[in-house]
Structure 1
Amino acid sequence: MLAAALLLPVPVRAVSADHAYVLDGVSGRVFYEKNARERGLIASTTKIMTALVVCEQCNVLDRMRIPKEAVGIEGSSMYLKEGEVLTLQELLYGLMLSSGNDAAVALAIYCGGTVEGFAELMNDKARNLGLTDTHFENPNGLDSPGHYSTARDLAKLAAYAMENPIFRKTVSTRSVKIGERCLTNHNKLLWRLEGADGVKTGFTKAAGRILVSSASRVDRRVICVTMNDPDDWNDHCALLNKSFSDYQICPVVGKGQCLGTLEVVGGENSRVEILAAEDFSYALAPEETVEVALPGAGFVYAPAVEGAEAGFAYALISGKAVG
C-alpha cells in the first residue's frame, strides 16, 4: 500500500471562508485547507449523509405515503402533502435539489423508523467512514448544539458519496419535474463551472453559507468545501480551477511492480522481491518528482509465502516523505 498527503500553497486569490478544504477525489491529496478541522454548524449539507444512507440502505424505487410528521417542516421545503405517494428517488430529488427539510424527515421515517432512529444510522455511517469530528442529530441540518462537522470531514464524506451512482446522478441533476412540481438544483456551480457535478448547498443564520462542491474533468474529481463563506461561488470556482490546472494525476506504481527486495533468513533463497499490491496514482505538479520508499524491517523469516503482506511503501514527493 502507499499513502501520501501534501498541501498546496495558499491560493493567489484570498479565500473568504472561515473554514475550507480541497481534496483530490482520486489520490486523496489535500490541495488546500484553512481551519479545516474546527467543528461548526453545517446546515443543509447534512443532507449529503441523509441521501447517502438512503441510497445505501433502501431501494430508491420504493414508494412511500407521506406521513403527517413530514408535512410543514420548518425551513426550505418541497411542499409535501400528507397522504401523497412518492418514490424514494423523487424524495431524494426534493432533498438534494430543493433542499427539502420535509423530504429529509419523510426519508428518515421510511429508512430509520423515526427521525431519532435515522440519526443513529447517520452517526453509524460517520463512524464507519472515520469522520471523527462529525455528529448528527437530525436529517435536515437545522441548527442544534450536538449537530456539527468540519470542512475536512464534509470533504471526505462527499468524496465517498460521489462514488455511489444513485447519489451522483441525483446531485448532478440540474432540474426535474415530479408531478406538478418543477425542482431546480440550488447548486449554481452546475451551470457556472466546467465539470461541476455536485453536491450540496447549505445556509442558516447561525451557520452562514456552507457549500460542498464536486467537479470532474477527464479522469479526475476534486472536492471543495467552504464554511461560513460570503463569496462561496467565486471561491469554489477559483479553488477547483486552480486544482485542475496546477496538478495532474500521475501513476506512481503499478500492481505487481517490484519495489525492492527483502532478505530471507533460514530459507533456500537469500532474498525475495517486494511487489506492489495495487496501482497507485497521485496528483502532482509539473515540477514535482516522486519516488517510493520502503521503511521497516529489512528481512523476513523463512518460509516466505508468496502474496503475504510485507508492509507499507511511502511516496516521497520531491524528496519529502509524506503520508
Structure 2
Amino acid sequence: MWYNIYSKLLNIRDNIIDNGYWKRCIQMIAKLRCLSKKAVYKMLSAFFILAFSFSFTVYAAPSPPEIDATSAILIESGRGQVLFAKHEKARLHVSTMCKMMTTLLAIEMAKLDQEVTISKESSGTGGATLHLEAGEKYTVEDLLYAVMLESANDAANALAEHVGGNIGKFVEIMNNKARELNLKDTHFKNPTGLFDKDQYTTASDIARLMKYSLGNQTFNKFFSCKATPWDKDGRRQILLNKNRLFWNYDGVDGGKVGYYDEDKYSVITSATRSNLRLVSIVLDSPVDNAFNDSTKMLDYGFINFRTGVLVYKGQKLTESTIEGKKVGLVSSSDEYYTFPTGESYIKDISFDIMKNPAPPITKDKIIGVARYTLSDDSQIDVTLYPDTEILPPENKIQKAVDNLKQNKGLTVLLIVLSAAEVLLAVYYSARFVGRKIFKRLKY
C-alpha cells in the first residue's frame, strides 16, 4: 500500500515538474479519492515527506569558469566585490593600466576644453600613435578619446606634459595616486605603458582602480565610447574601440584593450544586466583567448549572481537608550550587495554603538555602525542614525522660539488666541464676581 501511494505521488510530482500535464495530474488525484481514510492518512504523510525533500534539496556551488589568461578577476562595480579570480595578485606588465591612470588623472586635474600643444618629445613617442606633430593643438577631450580608443602613446604623453608640466613629474603624480587608492602592487614608470622592467601591476589593483574610476561620470563617458570622429589635416577618420565585446555581448557598457606583445593582450570590459554591473579584467592572453575568457567570466557572473537590497533607507536595524529613552537606529540610504543566486549570503551581523551619547542628538548624528559579514568574509558597514531627535531642555525652548520666529504668521495667530483667552477669562471672572455682589446687595 505505502509503495503504491508513494509511486503515485512521485508520478504526480514528475508530471508537474517535467511535463506540466495538469489534466493528467487531476485525473490521478481523482483516483486517489477512492482510497480508504487510513490510506489517505498514509498518503498525506508521504506527501509531506516529499515536500521536505524539496525544501532541503542541496544545490552544488556553480563551477568557476576555466580560462586561459595568466591572470584575471571579475568584480561587481559598486562595492568591488570579487566574484571570480585567477592569480589576481601576480605582478605583470600591463600597458592598459598606465593608460587608464593617465586618463583618470587628466579628467581629475584638467578641463576637457583646455587646449594642449603637442611637444616635440610627445610627437616622437614610439609604439601605437596617431602621428601627432609638434605644434599641433588639440583639446584635452580629443586626446582622451585618442588614448582610450586608439591607445595612442603620443596623446598619452601630451596629456602627461599638460597635467604634470613634464612626463617625469606626471609619473610621480601617477604613483602618488596609486598610493592614495591603496594599489600596493602597482608601480608606474611612464604614462604610455611602453615596456619597462620596473613597471608592474596586478589584476587586483586594476580592479580597485576600476571601482574608483567608474564612480566618475566623465571617466564613464570615455570608457563607454565605441567610436568617435578624429579630424587631422582636413581628413576625417573614425577612432574605434578595439574591445570586440561592444558588438558581441549583450549589456556591454565599457571597454579598453591594450597589449605590448601579440600574446600579451589585456582586455577590460564592463557590462550591466538587471541592475548588476560587472567588470571583467583579463591579463596576458592571446587576443582571441582574451575575449573568450572575458565572455566566460561575464556569463559566470550574470548566471550565478544577483544584486539586491541589503538594507532599505529608514529601516530600523537596532535600538539604543539615550537619556533613558529608546531610540531606533536606522540607515540613511538603501545599501546593496551582490550574492549567489538562491543562497543566504549573510554570515553575521554585529553592531558598534556609541556609548552614552549626550544631547543634542539630531537625526544627522552618527550613533554607530552595523557590520554585515558575507559568506566570502567581505564586510559591509552601514552607518546608523537616530530616527528621532533628543534635545536638552534649553535647546527645546530655543527651538520653540526659533520656530516662532520662522513662522511669523503663526506667532501672530498664537498671540491673538492667547489674548482672546485672557480676555475671556477676565470677562467670566468679572461676571462671576458681579453676580456674587448682586446677590449680597439683594438680600
**Alignment TM-score, normalising by the size of structure 1:** 0.88
Alignment deviations for residues 21-71 of structure 1 (CA, whole Å, 9 cap, x no partner): 111012432110111122221123320111011111111111222111111
Counterpart contact for 1:40–1:207, Cα < 8 Å: no
The one-letter code matched in structure 2 to 1:279 is: D
In 2, Cα distance between the equivalents of 1:39 and 1:206? 19
In 2, Cα distance between the equivalents of 1:224 and 1:88? 28
The change in CA–CA distance for 1:153 and 1:256 in structure 2 (over 3 A counts) is same
Structure-to-structure mapping, 1:143-292, within 5 angstroms? 143-179=195-231, 180=235, 181-205=237-261, 208-230=264-286, 231-263=289-321, 267-269=323-325, 271-291=326-346
How far did 1:206 drift? 9.8
Does 1 or 2 have the higher relative contact order (CA < 8 Å, sep 6+)? 1
The change in CA–CA distance for 1:298 and 1:202 in structure 2 (over 3 A counts) is closer
The one-letter code matched in structure 2 to 1:313 is: A
Counterpart contact for 1:42–1:207, Cα < 8 Å: no
In 1, Cα distance between the equivalents of 2:253 and 2:130? 22
Counterpart contact for 2:352–2:370, Cα < 8 Å: no
Residue in structure 1 matching 2:170, options 118, 142, 156: 118
The change in CA–CA distance for 1:297 and 1:101 in structure 2 (over 3 A counts) is closer
How far did 1:316 drift? 4.7
Structure-to-structure mapping, 1:42-57, within 5 angstroms? 42-57=94-109
Determine if the alignment matches structure 1 residue 95 to structure 2 residue 147.
Answer: yes
RMSD: 2.4
Counterpart contact for 1:77–1:100, Cα < 8 Å: yes
Percent of matched pairs sharing the same residue: 31
Q: Unaligned 5+ residue runs, structure 1?
A: 1-7
Aligned twin of 1:19 = 71
The change in CA–CA distance for 1:227 and 1:60 in structure 2 (over 3 A counts) is same
SS in 1 for 2:157: helix
In 1, Cα distance between the equivalents of 2:113 and 2:274? 31
Structure-to-structure mapping, 1:66-105, within 5 angstroms? 66-105=118-157
Aligned twin of 1:5 = none
The change in CA–CA distance for 1:229 and 1:310 in structure 2 (over 3 A counts) is farther
Counterpart contact for 1:78–1:99, Cα < 8 Å: no
In 1, Cα distance between the equivalents of 2:114 and 2:307? 39
The one-letter code matched in structure 2 to 1:239 is: M
Aligned twin of 2:370 = 313
Q: Which has the larger radius of gyration?
A: 2
Aligned twin of 2:358 = 303
Counterpart contact for 2:207–2:281, Cα < 8 Å: yes
The change in CA–CA distance for 1:29 and 1:85 in structure 2 (over 3 A counts) is same
Structure-to-structure mapping, 1:20-39, within 5 angstroms? 20-39=72-91
Between 1:286-295 and 1:125-134, the stretch displaced more is: 286-295
The one-letter code matched in structure 1 to 2:251 is: G
Counterpart contact for 1:129–1:157, Cα < 8 Å: yes
In 1, Cα distance between the equivalents of 2:352 and 2:216? 39
SS in 1 for 2:150: coil
Alignment deviations for residues 128-164 of structure 1 (CA, whole Å, 9 cap, x no partner): 2222221211111112233211101101212222232
Q: Unaligned 5+ residue runs, structure 2?
A: 1-60, 380-443
Counterpart contact for 2:351–2:371, Cα < 8 Å: no
The change in CA–CA distance for 1:218 and 1:9 in structure 2 (over 3 A counts) is closer
The change in CA–CA distance for 1:322 and 1:124 in structure 2 (over 3 A counts) is closer
SS in 2 for 1:242: helix
SS in 1 for 2:307: strand
- Bigger proportion of residues as strand: 1
SS in 2 for 1:228: strand
Counterpart contact for 1:47–1:95, Cα < 8 Å: yes
SS in 1 for 2:355: strand
The change in CA–CA distance for 1:299 and 1:124 in structure 2 (over 3 A counts) is closer
Aligned twin of 1:137 = 189
**Alignment TM-score, normalising by the size of structure 2:** 0.65
The change in CA–CA distance for 1:172 and 1:291 in structure 2 (over 3 A counts) is closer
How far did 1:317 drift? 4.5
The one-letter code matched in structure 1 to 2:258 is: G
Alignment deviations for residues 263-293 of structure 1 (CA, whole Å, 9 cap, x no partner): 55xx322x43222243211112331125585
Alignment deviations for residues 84-139 of structure 1 (CA, whole Å, 9 cap, x no partner): 11111111111111110111111101111111111122122222222222121111
